[in-house]
Structure 1
Amino acid sequence: MKALLVLALSSLCATAMADEVPADVAQQQPAVEDYTYSMHLDIAKVISMSEVPNVCEVVPVKMEYDDSKGQRHILRYSVMGNGCSSG
């Protein structure tokens, strides 16, 4: 009977500890870096890019990427929106 109780409690503890892992991973989200012209970019793989809004002005966008060492970065930079008509 005691062995069954110990087994039940240990499985509950393991489940509780497993629930904590995603929270630790979320805390490891990299800080957003602002792009400057003097920056040396080491982009090995682009993970995601934010959509460029349909406005006629300069807007900030973000790119998430991995460098050649496998470290994740988030870069914020400015682009011209897609809402301008040429003519």
Structure 2
Amino acid sequence: MKALIALGCLAFTGAVYAAQDVPPAQDYHYGQALDIRRVVQPADLGFCGIRDVEMVYEDSAGQLHRLRYPAWGLFCGNEN
């Protein structure tokens, strides 16, 4: 049931995301100053290990940005 709800939310978020004019992803660099007013689409952390993820955010001027950065997934269970 949770998987079905998550899939529905993901589909809805994808539709909203596709309807907006979002530029290509930019890679994050350590120490880079970011102007984030609101997160439009948070990164999907439904995996185990480290991989690149993308987040869509709006800056203080209302412009949308897509940021790519490495993140540790949340679904590793009892793995070391």
Task: Give the TM-score category using the shorter length.
Answer: 0.5 to 0.7
Unaligned residue ranges in structure 2 (runs of 5+): 1-18
Across the aligned residues of Structure 1 and Structure 2, the Cα RMSD in angstroms comes to 2.3
Q: What is the match of residue 73 of structure 2?
A: 81
Contact kept in structure 2, 1:30 and 1:72, CA below 8 Å: yes
> Which portions of structure 1, spanning 4 or more consecutive aligned residues, are displaced by more than 6 angstroms?
none
Q: CA deviation at 1:76?
A: 0.7
Q: CA deviation at 1:86?
A: 6.8
Question: Any residues of structure 2 matched to 1:8-87 within 5 Å, and which?
Answer: 28-55=21-48, 57-82=49-74, 83-85=76-78
- Equivalent pairs, count: 61
Structure with higher Rg: it is: 1
Determine which structure has the larger helix proportion and give its number: 1
TM-score, scaled to structure 2? 0.63
> What percentage of aligned pairs have identical amino acids?
35
Q: Whole-Å Cα distance in 1 between the matches of residues 53 and 61 of structure 2? A: 24
Q: Whole-Å Cα distance in 2 between the matches of residues 51 and 72 of structure 1? A: 18
